[in-house]
Chain A
Amino acid sequence: MTAGNRHPLFLPLVVVGGILFGFGLGFSGMARPEIVLSFLRLRDLGLLFVMGGAVAVVGPVYFLAARSGWNAPLTGRRYGRRLKSMDPNVLAGGALFGVGWGLSGICPGAAYASLGIGNYPILWGIAGMFIGAYGQGFVRSMSSGRDELDASAVE
């Protein structure tokens, strides 16, 4: 899918979805590292309701859409669940992610939202994420064969 043959409503829909997403992250407090850290230190478990609330919406939507057998109107893509293959990297990556999240209280989506609420020091965190993602990709490019490059196979 290139920019040229996209449905004219594709980008506007991404904008609407992104604004809802960012507004929700701001409203929930997740854009503030202090709130995330107070959750991770088990002082305030309210953050469970952010993930819970999001899954409560997304879960039924995915379930019904995937069962319908229909295609998405703007892309013609068949609705499917988000399934990725399991391998040791998924767990190792999760562990590294957990170290970073626990150290800083930021994850990618919340970091973008944090910038939106005026928290410019979060640029340190976003810079770290880009450098980390680049380093990971650089090492993978060096060490892996082409066959392994697209690791998004279905579970």
Chain B
Amino acid sequence: MDTLVSALALSAVLDLFPRGISQYLIGGLLVGTGTAVIYLGTGISAGASTFLESTLSYVSEQQRFQQPRFVTTRDWRIVFTLSIVAGAALYAAVFQGGTWTTDVQPWRLFAGGLFVGVGTRLGKGCTSGHGICGVGSVSRTSIGNVAVFMSVAIGTALAVSAMGVSP
């Protein structure tokens, strides 16, 4: 009986991870290592989304974008972003065997991007700034932000799916 219960429990847990966990965990450790390398060398918490505003400082005279924290970091943030692209391209070359494109509809990508762009700037960070550096710092602000975006995102994805939008 105990064996049966354990087997059912194990199978229920495995159902939650249909693709296993190793690629997720290894990927996460690499993402963390990249963040830690930059932090240990420079003391900077490199989030991915400040790139949006710092790059806008090249083309917009809005005082919002002309703050020193964007203007003095905009060049290395471009280098950081291009390196992320290059690192992913390296992954694709080694493990993916060619390019891959999403089936998620363009309007979803665009509309989702709009919300993400507003939300990350209003909320002072994104999945990397709050989710990795902030949570790694045990910042209450970041943990609160992540709890909100995670629950809202789950609700949104379930609702969109329930409305029959796919992919």
Contacts and interface: CB of A to CB of B under 8 A. Distances in A.
B112 A104 contact: yes
A128 to B, nearest CB: 2
A102 B36 contact: no
Contact of B28 (A13, A18, A43, A54): A54
Of the listed residues B42, B89, B95, the one surrounded by the most CB atoms of chain A closer than 10 A to its CB is B42
Interface residues of A, number: 125
B2 interface: no
Contact of B27 (A18, A30, A89, A118): A30
A33 B112 CA distance: 11
Contacts of B152: 94-95, 97-99, 102
Interface of A: 1-3, 9-11, 13-34, 37, 40-59, 61-62, 65-66, 71-75, 77-86, 89-122, 124-138, 140-141, 146, 149-152, 155
Interface of B: 16-21, 23-46, 48-49, 51-53, 55-56, 60, 62-65, 67, 69, 72, 75-76, 79-92, 95-96, 98-104, 106-142, 144-161, 167
